[in-house]
Structure 1
Amino acid sequence: MEWLILIYKIPAEPSRYRASVWRKIKEIGAVYLQNSVCILPFNKKTERVFRKIKNEIENYGGEGYLIKADFIGPENKIINLFNDTRDEEYAEIIEKCHDFFYELDAEAKAAHFTYAELEENEEDLKKLYNWFEKVRERDYFTSFLQEKTYQLLASCRACLDNFGDQVFAREDMDNID
């Protein structure tokens, strides 16, 4: 397997430059091997993104080096580092899914079967799905929690559909009166 390694040095000030580079590196799913040394599996997309980041670093007055490399020996340690990082992100989504279940349960117990509540919860679920898709796009090695997170999101969808049925049933009852 081929890898891309970005090694960079960026001026300490202004700190927003470092923060901008860090956010972009995190967004694409690269992991740090050590300070200012990050790695991604090689493909055309990752090369394009790393080249843009390297250019940004140089525009900020820093130095950037992009290296295409192969590991000598097993790559399991690096792959595990990627998977562990993605699993941390999936764990956050899983936690938010549990919050979503709790919220729907609280609304049902309080009999808040309104369109406003349904719409608010639909937006929350949409955000969770969008977050999941962003993590999944940078999950290069299909980490352990990907499938569990997907299944939990499907359960959130089913619970929201059930809540929606209750909203519609309430509306139908109100229209009978």
Structure 2
Amino acid sequence: MKWVLLVYKLPKAKTTAKKVAIWRKLKKLAVYPLQDSVCILPYSERTLENFEWLAEEIKEMGGDATLWETIALDYSQEDQVKEYFLTQVNKQYKEIMDKVENAINIKQLQKLWTLFHQIKSQDYLRSPLWIEVKGLLEKKASELSGKDE
């Protein structure tokens, strides 16, 4: 499998707010942290572009950032990284599944759809749970729209 790595160093003298902003962006991308200041995502044009933007932002802050494309992970490490990505999204998908049952109106369901799309954007390895969650959301939408009539 192909991967993209971001190796970065934030400047020491810059404000904490900028560093927190970078950390939040990494968290939003749901990266796998290989070690301090080194993170990885499965390769795609989208993940490469996201890392390119982030690397540029780090450089504009006065830091350093380098991107690497690789297939050089050993199989056990690659399995561990894949498991990490799947575990992260599956946990979030299961939380949505639990909340769908308790949704009592369309507004609550719309929030769950929004959350679903956010999680799906981090589902780099296409967890099979996404189809199940989508089906539950669609079924609940059908039930709730029947109540409104």
Both structures adopt the same fold (TM-score exceeding 0.5): yes
TM range (shorter): 0.7 to 0.9
Which amino acid in the other structure matches residue 124 of structure 2?
A: Y
Q: How far does residue 52 in structure 1 lie from its aligned partner after superposition?
A: 0.7
Q: Secondary structure at the match of 2:142?
A: helix
- In the alignment, what sits opposite 2:17? 16
- In the alignment, what sits opposite 2:92? 89
* Uncovered stretches (5+) of structure 1, i.e. residues with no partner: 105-120, 166-177
Moved over 6 A (4+): none
Which amino acid in the other structure matches residue 127 of structure 1?
A: K
- In the alignment, what sits opposite 2:61? 60
Which amino acid in the other structure matches residue 107 of structure 2?
A: E
Aligned partners of 1:151, 1:141: CA distance in 2, in Å?
Answer: 19
* Uncovered stretches (5+) of structure 2, i.e. residues with no partner: none
Which residue of 126, 129, 134 maps to 1:142?
A: 126
- In the alignment, what sits opposite 2:31? 30
Q: TM-score, normalised by structure 2?
A: 0.83
- In the alignment, what sits opposite 1:6? 6
Taking only the aligned residue pairs, the percentage that are identical comes to: 29
Once the two structures are superposed, residues 97-139 of structure 1 have per-residue CA deviations (whole angstroms, 9 ceiling, x without a partner) of 2331xxx2xxxxxxxxxxxxxxxx3232222112212211221
Which residue of 77, 80, 83 maps to 1:77?
A: 80
Q: How far does residue 43 in structure 1 lie from its aligned partner after superposition?
A: 2.1
Q: How far does residue 72 in structure 1 lie from its aligned partner after superposition?
A: 4.2
Q: TM-score, normalised by structure 1?
A: 0.72
Aligned partners of 2:48, 2:61: CA distance in 1, in Å?
Answer: 20
